[in-house]
Copies of this chain bind each other. A is one copy, B any other.
């Protein structure tokens, strides 16, 4: 596949976010000008309003809506907090500063705005996400966790001081951190024809050392366990903007399986958001059936693992035959295996034998 040129999406999106924040503020002013009590409306995020949507292939919110009106004395505080959160997000976005949920909680005090605890401020940020339909990373509130990427992709920064600068993502063989600067960059050019996401740092490094990016023409993403939302969005962008298939490799246990599932189908916690999941991504291993077929060294499934399997069995995201088969097989063999277990056949077996077979099998 030849180089691709991708038109700007990041700056457009930044503008939309700022527009959304301004509209929110303008709406409040308008209502006051008309002499009515200002109010805000958003879809309810309570459990009974969350359902799995076959079309979007993710959890979505239903039709039920909640309204916060300052006419109601009990709404006065959360309404004010929400408007403050919008103000603060607008400042972050327009000044191009990033922040964390923890920072938001403390920053409130600089504005004499009080939150009982961090849970309260986190909830208000989720309210803001729900109203705007953008995730907090879009208004520059980032998690602490960082994952990484490596491969033939040239990106162009949009962050202050680096505008227009490019970076080739093979520049640093330990991998390139996926932080605010990388997620807000434009994709300029790639020769890769697939994305390979890997759960663990050790294996990510092994893949780089063994030139998986060249041998299999791929961009490698390390999720570092459960992928942070910014990384899930980044994988989606690689899939959508570069039109590349995504293959996910995790440990062979219910937790690894679910790391893949959240990348594919998202989480109930993010039912109010779109574009965090990659519905066409494939879970390529380590499957329970791989454990059997490759005679991997295993550990027994413990009580927590079994409990988790029963939960997954009831989860609407796990209804497809592949997932059902793998859950059943786990329950039958009652064993789990880590990705590193392939080292029993030598350090490069996973790259030379397992990887190509699974890429073919899940194509």
A contacts, CB < 8 Å to B = 96-100, 102-103, 105-107, 109-110, 142, 144-146, 148, 157, 159-162, 167, 171-182, 200-202, 205-206, 209, 211, 297, 338, 340-347
Contact = CB atoms under 8 A, between A and B. Distances in A.
Most chain B C-beta atoms within 10 Å of own C-beta, residue among A178, A182, A209 = A209
Contacts of A161: 173, 211
Nearest to A147: B146
A180 B174 CA distance: 7
Contacts of A145: 201
A172 B180 contact: no
Given A97-B347, A148-B177, 6 more contacts: A102-B338, A103-B202, A106-B341, A107-B347, A160-B209, A174-B180
A89 B99 CA distance: 42
B175 A205 contact: no
Contacts of A148: 146, 177
- Count the copies: 2
Contact of A167 (B98, B172, B345): B172
A22 B62 CA distance: 67
25 contacts: A97-B206, A99-B202, A103-B206, A103-B343, A106-B338, A106-B343, A106-B344, A107-B344, A109-B297, A142-B202, A144-B201, A144-B202, A145-B201, A146-B148, A146-B201, A159-B173, A160-B209, A161-B211, A167-B172, A171-B172, A172-B177, A172-B182, A173-B179, A175-B179, A179-B205
Contacts of A341: 106
A99 B346 CA distance: 12
B110 A344 contact: yes
Contact of A175 (B171, B177, B206): B177
B98 A206 contact: yes
A294 to B, nearest CB: 12
A89 to B, nearest CB: 13
Nearest to A150: B177
Given A109-B297, A144-B201, A341-B106, A177 B176 contact: yes
Contacts of A96: 209
A157 B97 CA distance: 32
Contacts of A162: 173
Contacts of A109: 297, 343-344
A343 B205 CA distance: 36
Nearest to A141: B202
Nearest to A296: B106
B102 A340 contact: yes
B174 A107 contact: no
A96 B347 CA distance: 12
A250 B205 CA distance: 29
B345 A110 contact: yes
Contacts of A102: 202, 338, 340
Contacts of A173: 157, 159, 161-162, 179, 181
A316 B211 CA distance: 47
B110 A343 contact: yes
A59 to B, nearest CB: 28
